[in-house]
């Protein structure tokens, strides 16, 4: 029996996927959450024998997205396998997901049997990522450093330079340097434009 924890912010989609997976006798949905933070909190409170084998998660969610969740799980619960399920085939998402140790990347429009087979393959130790998407990910490298990405993300959320500096525990001058470097690397006109470009690429 494969124990799956499902993370998806849209209730209708989450319920539909849970119902679909439950049709397979080899899969049990043991829990659900609407964002990565709630999922991480819930899983942290589980006992060892009730841990999921696989976390099936969306990417774009409030509080903590699927890639951030994958990074946290890789550190705290390395035995749990991560599978991303999304409507976005952006190369940046795939590249970041692979770096976070994700074992599968499934598009939501894929046939239901493809999703179920992907979970079974991941459980067997295989990686399941569409070859074309994987090639795209390798061809479209993210030029941003982790610190530049974090600063740009906070800026895109509307935070001022002083607020970003406080959240990242750095000086305002360093914050401005990170944002300037990100703008230059993306050939953007300002931080808003840089954030837009990075989001389109799946780098943010």
Instruction: Provide the CATH number for the domain around residue 162.
Output: 1.10.10.10
* Domain co-membership, 99 together with 197: no
Number of domains in the chain: 2
The reply to whether 13 and 90 lie within a common domain is: yes
Q: Which tokens sit at 41? A: 């909190």
Q: How far apart are CA 34 and CA 69, in angstroms?
A: 12
For residue 136, the model assigns a pLDDT of: 61
Least confident segment among 100-114, 120-134, 162-176: 120-134
Residues 24 and 108 in one domain: yes
Whether 26 and 125 share a structural domain = yes
In the DSSP assignment, the letter for residue 64 is S
**94/187 same-domain check:** no
Q: Are 98 and 123 found together in one domain?
A: yes
Domain identity same for 125 and 49: yes
**Tokens representing 2?**
């494969």
Residues 152 and 197 in one domain: yes
CA dist 197 and 204 (Å) reads: 9
Q: With 90 as the cut, is the pLDDT of residue 14 above it?
A: yes
Question: Last residue of some domain: 91, 111, 139?
Answer: 139
Cβ 70 vs Cβ 84: under 8 Å: yes
Let me know whether 19 and 104 are in one domain.
Answer: yes
Question: Which of 87, 112, 139 is the C-terminal boundary of a domain?
Answer: 139
Q: pLDDT per residue over 128-155, tens digit each? A: 986 666 666 665 677 889 899 999 999 9
pTM, two decimal places: 0.69
What does the pLDDT read at residue 138? 61
What pLDDT is recorded for position 135? Answer: 63
d(Cα 1, Cα 60) in Å, to the nearest integer?
28
- Give the range of the structural domain holding residue 49, as residue numbers without chain letter: 2-139
- Same-domain status, 173 and 158: yes
């Amino acid at each position: 029996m494969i124990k799956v924890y499902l993370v998806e912010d849209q209730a209708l989609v989450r319920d539909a996927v849970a119902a679909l997976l439950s049709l397979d006798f080899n899969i049990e949905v043991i829990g659900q959450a609407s964002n990565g933070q709630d999922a991480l909190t819930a899983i942290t409170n589980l006992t060892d024998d009730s841990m999921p084998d696989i976390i099936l998660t969306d990417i774009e969610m409030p509080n903590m997205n699927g890639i951030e969740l994958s990074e946290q799980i890789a550190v705290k619960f390395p035995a749990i396998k991560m599978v991303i399920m999304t409507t976005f085939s952006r190369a940046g998402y795939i590249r970041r997901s692979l770096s976070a140790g994700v074992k599968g990347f499934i598009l939501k429009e894929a046939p239901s049997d493809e999703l179920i087979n992907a979970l079974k393959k991941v459980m067997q130790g295989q990686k399941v990522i569409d070859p074309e998407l994987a090639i795209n990910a390798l061809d479209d490298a993210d030029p941003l450093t982790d610190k530049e990405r974090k600063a740009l993300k906070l800026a895109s959320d509307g935070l001022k330079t002083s607020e970003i500096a406080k959240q990242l525990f750095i000086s305002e001058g360093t914050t401005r340097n990170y944002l300037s470097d990100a703008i230059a690397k993306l050939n953007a006109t300002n931080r808003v434009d840089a954030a837009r470009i990075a989001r389109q690429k799946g780098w943010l």
